[in-house]
Structure 1
């Protein structure tokens, strides 16, 4: 459907020639001989473009242009002027005229081209306005979604923090921990808990990926250990005393959930009387660092990731610990903090750091800047287990 045009010109010959040519071009044209008549047309009809003479008695083109722009910014106005009134043309363009033509209009093709071009610009402007409105609406929805997501993540973070154990200081044995997520939620998790009067179980785990989906797996871990502790208390299961069985249970439950996540883990049981340490490894790296008499070394052990293979097999390792020791367990995010060029050098740095700080948890946290607010590339978890013979006495 062709556009509806309004011609305002007090010269009948100019008005009639423009009207005839534009109607032949397929436009619907309304032609009037004064500015006031043109404004009356605007009150009663939908007009898509105006052609207006600048020099008219009573209400001239500049006044018409001002009133049109006050009513609607979207109607393009092409001013028509004689060659001697270019100052008025400049003023009209400043007031918002879309284009200008000089009388007499010899080439009507130029008239049609100006009309067509300005109508196309109006269409583009309306499309842009619609796009801006859509974009603003989408941005509002996105901001609302982000606010909701942030609120959910903050709530999730509080839940995660409450799932972590309290520090332990009893009978010469202490447990400390620090988790620093790369996002609001963490895929790293750890826990420690008494199994009976003589044994403590503890683990550190690193779930694949980041964010909410990985954090969900940490809830599964906490729930599983809760159920195993409940079974232990009821006497229906001794699984928590056997590291291999614990990894097998986690492996089975992760695969059964079909959540597409796996994890690395070290689960250990410490006998407080004999100081025997039994542990199993599920592809975790770096291995825990044992500090004895000022000398640090990595524990031995290897195993398959947990949650990837139905037929995964795990081994149990056992070692006897001295009366005094410090055991530091890290997730692999700590390696991302270190600036050493090779993996071997990063591992060596961790050993040297633990020796230098005598395994002190707070000193290690400070040295690695784990209290910093700066973004980190990966979740970081640290657990420190210390036994002090003098405190036992």
Structure 2
């Protein structure tokens, strides 16, 4: 499709000279409209070719402000040409009839430059409008982020209220823990509580991911464990942990939220000094320290919430007179040296063996600027910018502790 001809206005005194100038410009597909003054030009005029003799001095500035203008003159030092230049019109041609091809090229170039200038002006205007819109959007986003932060902080406080008191001693078995969320909410969770005079129930969970969606699973876990504990009659303790894992596996699959967890569920029989437990792909494996040696608890099991119909085997081991049982979420592996997983696991075993208290192990980790006060760490997870993942450590020890 042919582009429409661009209209070029010619301002000159009527006569043969103006006609010749218009004819010279009209070559190469340019449309021309000859006029006596700028007020006679039609609104669709794209550019003006004005003869220096035809425009009063007072009109040059107004003409230049309205339309791109090219000045022509018969003499280089003509007084009228100098007045046009003084008014800001620097594009001019002397003896235009002799330089017709150059005149037409200058006309097309001037039109193109004017078009580009208009586009730049429009772009600047759009950019200014976009910046204004972005400013409003940023303000709205900051408001929503502040509200989200408040919601996350409130959720974190509720989640911490669900944790057991620390430290506590039940039946000579002490439990202490340290939980540091990488965000306001954590995907790690644990519980430790007396069932009756004979049994202690506890679990340690690490939900995939971190943040709000993972924290919701920990709330579900707390609710379900309380319900299942209320339904247990205290018989067949070896079956409690496997049943809990199997039922939680079904619950997570039924929710359809795409979350899974690694889990350790344990039942301590204070009368027999025996640990019944079941594993849901816990990593690192729980570590038992007794008689100066450290070893992972034996057994294995599938993650919870990934595959239907999974059965979890009942496991168990006697508890020595003096033992320490360590459970850590996989976030601890980020804080240990070693190029491979096996190297980091061996490093963890060495540090666990050398740690008599939870503070000893925590102090041996490369946690950067983590505050020393336990409550500060638990309350202010976002202060732990060094942590790429939630980090939780739980230690059970016994049996020589005095009940609180």
| Same fold? TM cut 0.5 | yes
Number of the residue aligned with 1:308: 306
Q: CA deviation at 1:348?
A: 1.4
TM-score (norm 2): 0.73
Aligned residue for 1:219, secondary structure, equals helix
Kept in 2: contact 1:271–1:277 (CA 8 A): yes
Aligned residue for 1:391, secondary structure, equals coil
Number of the residue aligned with 1:375: 386
Number of the residue aligned with 2:345: 347
Query: Could you give the per-residue CA deviations for residues 177-198 of structure 1, whole angstroms, max 9, x where no partner exists?
Result: 2233334433222222332333
Bigger CA drift: 321-330 or 297-306?
321-330
Aligned CA-pair RMSD: 4.3
Q: CA deviation at 1:78?
A: 5.0
Query: Could you give the per-residue CA deviations for residues 101-156 of structure 1, whole angstroms, max 9, x where no partner exists?
Result: 54555322430332134214423542464356346535643563365245324423
Matching of residues 194-205 of structure 1 within 5 Å:
194-205=194-205
Query: Could you give the per-residue CA deviations for residues 286-313 of structure 1, whole angstroms, max 9, x where no partner exists?
Result: 1112222443222112101111111212
TM-score (norm 1): 0.75
Number of the residue aligned with 1:364: 361
Matching of residues 23-172 of structure 1 within 5 Å:
25=30, 33=37, 57-59=56-58, 61=60, 68=65, 77=68, 80=71, 92=88, 100-103=91-94, 105=96, 106=100, 107-123=103-119, 125-127=121-123, 129-130=125-126, 133-134=129-130, 137-138=133-134, 140-141=136-137, 144-145=140-141, 147-149=143-145, 151-164=147-160, 165=163, 166-171=165-170, 172=172
Separation in structure 2 between the aligned mates of residue 378 and residue 273 of structure 1, nearest angstrom = 38
Aligned residue for 1:301, secondary structure, equals coil
Bigger RCO (CA 8 Å, 6+ sep)? 2
Separation in structure 1 between the aligned mates of residue 196 and residue 338 of structure 2, nearest angstrom = 42
**What is the number of residues matched between the two proteins?**
369
Which of 325, 333, 336 pairs up with 2:334? 336
Corresponding position: 1:326 with 2:324: yes
Number of the residue aligned with 2:214: 214
Bigger CA drift: 114-123 or 7-16?
7-16
Kept in 1: contact 2:253–2:306 (CA 8 A): yes
Number of the residue aligned with 1:192: 192
Query: Could you give the per-residue CA deviations for residues 236-294 of structure 1, whole angstroms, max 9, x where no partner exists?
Result: 99999711111111100110011112111111122334332111111111111222244
Which 5+ residue runs of structure 1 have no aligned equivalent? 69-74
Query: Could you give the per-residue CA deviations for residues 88-107 of structure 1, whole angstroms, max 9, x where no partner exists?
Result: 86994xxxx9x845455532
Separation in structure 2 between the aligned mates of residue 86 and residue 183 of structure 1, nearest angstrom = 72
Larger-gyration structure (1/2): 2
Matching of residues 241-320 of structure 1 within 5 Å:
242-320=240-318
Aligned residue for 1:59, secondary structure, equals helix
Kept in 2: contact 1:190–1:203 (CA 8 A): yes
Separation in structure 2 between the aligned mates of residue 300 and residue 169 of structure 1, nearest angstrom = 27
